[in-house]
Structure 1
């Protein structure tokens, strides 16, 4: 996938289904962290863009790193919260951080779904590394089908979230 944005489509469906039990911000953060290695490899002109971090097993340390970084971020936001004015989005993040369990599940879903989606699209990816170099998911769907599926997920997730927000407003 072209650096992360399309990965957010499935994340929006998860958010619409799981609500406050899923953090789209944590999911997105995990998606970005997953693409750091490919970005570095592209800059270096490496022939294999998707290395060790793009496997189900070796994505787990990246999930742990993302979990820790986001926890640190929320800790700092909580510390800064008295200095944040108004009811802006940053203040809301400081006041309502996701629970540790929500954060953990969201980053795990982010890293693992990233490997799954990229496995279908990139021949150089070895999702079962270090146990196997085989990528059975490669080419399951065409790039157009995968892109379309992610966009449909994004639209569906946004529609459900907007519908729920509208219903909440009507009841208040």
Structure 2
């Protein structure tokens, strides 16, 4: 997506639905980090197609592995800061890994619905998810984000007032 923040909507929604199974900070990071390469293509220093290897399931899995590794390796003082956006849960290695995979794979799926140059199952050619329905996908991302933020706000509000998750 040309505007990476759209990817945050589905990530917020999924993270709100499964807070103990999907680590929210990891999910959010993994859902947008893939576009760093695309931004470098669009804005100059890299050449090649906007949607390259990272917007494949294989490439996204590599990204997810790196993101999960970085999150799990955070020093305790940084992890404590990150805990502030974890609604009542601490990160388990399984939740971090799942958050990274879901975030990265959802990025590929969303881009695959919009762009013909995405080949999600590379090295196999083609894109079986292509819809080209930009308004529908962007609207769905915004709606998912609004619902996700609402669910998280309700969960955070409850944990702030009761000290529970």
User: Which category of TM-score, normalised to the shorter sequence, fits these structures?
Assistant: 0.7 to 0.9
Is residue 2:23 matched to residue 1:10?
Answer: no
- What displacement does 1:170 show? 7.3
Give the 3 Å change call, closer, same or farther, for CA 119–167 of structure 1 in structure 2. same
**Larger gyration radius, structure 1 or structure 2:** 1
- What displacement does 1:39 show? 2.1
5 Å-filtered alignment, 1:68-83, equals: 68-73=69-74, 76=75, 78=76, 80=77
Whether the 8 Å CA contact 2:38–2:50 is kept in 1: the answer is yes
List per-residue Cα deviations over 1:91-112 (Å, max 9, x = no partner): 845xx75110000000000110
* Alignment partner, residue 157 of structure 1: 148
* Alignment partner, residue 66 of structure 1: 67
Report the Cα distance in structure 1 between the residues aligned to 2:146 and 2:4, rounded to whole angstroms.
Answer: 16
**Structure 1, gaps ≥5 residues long:** 82-88
Report the Cα distance in structure 1 between the residues aligned to 2:132 and 2:82, rounded to whole angstroms.
Answer: 42
* Alignment partner, residue 117 of structure 2: 124
Report the Cα distance in structure 1 between the residues aligned to 2:163 and 2:58, rounded to whole angstroms.
Answer: 45
> Matched residue of 2:55: which SS?
coil
> Matched residue of 2:37: which SS?
helix
* Alignment partner, residue 55 of structure 2: 54
* Alignment partner, residue 136 of structure 2: 145
TM-score after normalising by structure 1: 0.79
TM-score after normalising by structure 2: 0.82
Give RMSD over aligned pairs.
Answer: 2.5
**Structure 2, gaps ≥5 residues long:** none
* Alignment partner, residue 84 of structure 1: none
Equivalent position to 1:99, from 82, 92, 111: 92
Give the 3 Å change call, closer, same or farther, for CA 92–102 of structure 1 in structure 2. closer
List per-residue Cα deviations over 1:50-90 (Å, max 9, x = no partner): 111111122211111111111222xx2x1x47xxxxxxx72
